[in-house]
Amino acid sequence: MAEDSWSQEAFRQKWQEQADTMGRFNLAIFGKTGVGKSTLINAVFGEEVAPTGIGEPVTKEDHLYLHLAGFLGLLDTRGLEIGKDTDELISELGEYVKRMREGELAEHIHVAWYCVRATDRRFEDTEAEFIRQLHKLGLPVIAVMTQVPSRHGEHHGDAVTLAEHMAELDLPIVGGRPILVMAAGDDFTGQVEHGLQDLLDATFRVAPEGVEAALAAAQKIDMGRKRKQAQNVVRVASSLALTVGAIPIPIADAGVLIPIQLGMMAKVAAIYGVRMETAALASTVATTLLASAGKSAVVGLLKLIPGAGTIVGGVISAGVAASFTLAVGYAWAAVCGELTQGRLKDANGALDSEMVRELFQKQFAIWFETVRAGKSGSAI
Ligand SMILES: Nc1nc2c(ncn2[C@@H]2O[C@H](COP(=O)(O)OP(=O)(O)O)[C@@H](O)[C@H]2O)c(=O)[nH]1
Ligand SMILES: [Mg+2]
């Protein structure tokens, strides 16, 4: 028990250390009411982020609100209308953007999304002017055309026409044209979600390098980005296990690998954007499994793999220790991927330990095989 709580404490600490290095990705979102901003944010960053709450007012004029949700900061506006109040909005925004730039990168506004609804079939001069002003504040602006109907992978002709029109205006927007999306499908009309990955890719292209990890963690649609960020941490832990295992570890002492793996798991969880408490809880399930049968970690898990047969003479070789750690890392990453998409929950919305256990175990077996077969380089 005492050891358990120590692990938990260490896990939280490692998670926080990692989170601190990642900082925050701050996105400003603009567009008229009803164009689909909240829906878009939900689709890309998850339900918890949607600015249904008020957020914190960040200027004394009270028109700019910052919503913090994990690795995302979302800036939106209240009470001022683009067109009618552009000057006031830009001046308030400019003041805020400049003030934040005096602080560290995690406080800056990194990217702006300007949303236009396809079904409005028009883009006003005042909107173009607003975008130009945003650009002058030094913000990379991505124009997003929302609620774009599609059929068989083709965009609605009217949306394409509107996009062409916008492209001809020579707006200072990323790629010179809007990105066409449908953030949420609709069963009744048969509309399917599309374009979100393009939007995310464009956002990655213009976000400063220093917030790439935070953006990867905050978004929930591209697991590949998360995995890529996690790779390094997993490899470092594996090398560490290799060093520890250079003197063959007696099976009974295989627990020496657990701290290495716990630290790795904490970092991977943060990299994936899994909240600390959820991650800590899920990690206990995984480590219980690692230490299953009340014996050593390695034996416990290797027993689950038919024909692992790598334990010779009652010791674990450096190679096994390293492979084992790699497999733990990637299996855990799979768990984290599911968690960030709101899965592995029971009917009450609480973490479902049984599901976590099953997924981790299954993924571990797969990865251990892959790693031992030397296929990890290309597969991961
Ligand atoms: N099916 C579907 N509905 C959308 C989409 N975007 C917005 N809506 C609907 O349009 C309405 C307004 O969207 P909302 O995101 O609240 O707009 P906001 O005022 O810009 O935040 C809501 O009823 C949404 O359900 C979309 O991509 N797909
Ligand atoms: Mg909204």
pLDDT value at 379 more than 50: no
Taking a C-beta distance cutoff of 8 angstroms, is the pair 314, 250 a contact? yes
- pLDDT band for 298, please (50, 70, 90 cuts): low
- Output the six-digit token pair for 11: 């896990």
What's residue 315's pLDDT?
A: 64
**145 CB within 6 A, ligand 1:** no
What's residue 300's pLDDT?
A: 53
CATH number at residue 57: 3.40.50.300
Report if residue 201 sits inside a domain.
yes
What's residue 2's pLDDT?
A: 45
What's the pTM? Answer: 0.91
Give the distance, in angstroms, between the CA of residue 74 and the centroid of all CA atoms in the same chain.
14
Report if residue 306 sits inside a domain.
yes
Q: Do 40 and 187 belong together in one domain?
A: yes
What CA–CA distances, in Å, run from 49 to 46, 52, 71, 219?
6, 8, 10, 10
Amino acid at 256: V
**Domain endpoint, select from 160, 189, 217:** 217
Report if residue 5 sits inside a domain.
no
Report if residue 288 sits inside a domain.
yes
Which of 22-26, 208-212, 214-218, 256-260 is least confident?
Answer: 256-260
pLDDT value at 380 more than 50: no
Burial zone of 294 (CB within 10 Å; 0-12 exposed, 13-18 middle, 19+ buried): exposed
Taking a C-beta distance cutoff of 8 angstroms, is the pair 322, 372 a contact? no
Report if residue 14 sits inside a domain.
no
The ligand whose atoms approach the alpha carbon of 42 most closely is 1
**Domain endpoint, select from 217, 242, 276:** 217
pLDDT value at 375 more than 70: no
Taking a C-beta distance cutoff of 8 angstroms, is the pair 11, 284 a contact? no
CA-angle at 31, arms to 39 and 138, nearest 5° = 115
Q: Do 201 and 257 belong together in one domain?
A: no
Residue 123 CA to ligand 1 center (angstroms) comes to: 18
Report if residue 9 sits inside a domain.
no
Report if residue 15 sits inside a domain.
no
Q: Which of 30, 32, 39 to mutate to test the pocket of ligand 1 (most atoms within 8 A of CB)?
A: 39
Residue 299 CA to ligand 1 center (angstroms) comes to: 52
Which string of b and e fits 237-257 if b means at least 16 CB within 10 Å?
Answer: bbebbbebbeeebebeebbbb
pLDDT value at 217 more than 50: yes
Tracing tokens 């026409």 back to the chain, one arrives at 161
Q: Do 148 and 194 belong together in one domain?
A: yes
Integer Cα distance of 158 and 180 in angstroms: 12
From the CA of 185, give the closest atom in ligand 1. 1
Tracing tokens 């939007």 back to the chain, one arrives at 199
Q: Do 183 and 232 belong together in one domain?
A: no
Q: Do 228 and 190 belong together in one domain?
A: no
Percent of the chain with pLDDT over 70: 86
The ligand whose atoms approach the alpha carbon of 199 most closely is 1
Integer Cα distance of 299 and 361 in angstroms: 14
pLDDT in tens, 340-371: 998 999 999 899 999 999 999 899 889 988 88
Report if residue 103 sits inside a domain.
yes
Minimal CA–CA distance to 217: which of 203, 201, 202, 229? 229
Burial zone of 60 (CB within 10 Å; 0-12 exposed, 13-18 middle, 19+ buried): exposed
What's residue 304's pLDDT?
A: 52
DSSP type of residue 248: P
Taking a C-beta distance cutoff of 8 angstroms, is the pair 205, 174 a contact? yes
Q: Do 140 and 88 belong together in one domain?
A: yes
- pLDDT band for 58, please (50, 70, 90 cuts): confident
pLDDT value at 49 more than 80: no
Residue 202's contacts (CB-CB under 8 Å, 6 or more residues apart) are: 142, 174, 175, 179
Q: Do 234 and 327 belong together in one domain?
A: yes
**Hey, is 179 helix, strand or coil?**
strand
Phi first, then psi, for residue 10 (nearest 5°) are -65, -40
DSSP string, 331-345: HHHHHHHHHHTT-SB
- The upper half-sphere exposure of residue 166, i.e. CA atoms within 13 Å in the direction of its Cβ, equals 34
Domain that holds residue 236: 222-379
Q: Do 317 and 197 belong together in one domain?
A: no
pLDDT in tens, 66-82: 999 999 999 999 889 99
Q: Do 162 and 234 belong together in one domain?
A: no
**Hey, is 271 helix, strand or coil?**
helix
Q: Do 241 and 204 belong together in one domain?
A: no
Percent of the chain with pLDDT over 90: 70
Count of domains for the chain: 2
- Output the six-digit token pair for 357: 């256990």
pLDDT in tens, 140-171: 999 999 999 999 999 999 999 999 999 999 99
Q: Do 126 and 249 belong together in one domain?
A: no
**147 CB within 6 A, ligand 1:** yes
Q: Chain-wide mean pLDDT for the chain? A: 88
Q: Do 75 and 90 belong together in one domain?
A: yes
Q: What are 315's strand-pairing partners?
A: 250, 312
pLDDT value at 294 more than 50: no
**Domain endpoint, select from 217, 248, 283:** 217
**Hey, is 199 helix, strand or coil?**
helix
pLDDT value at 301 more than 70: no
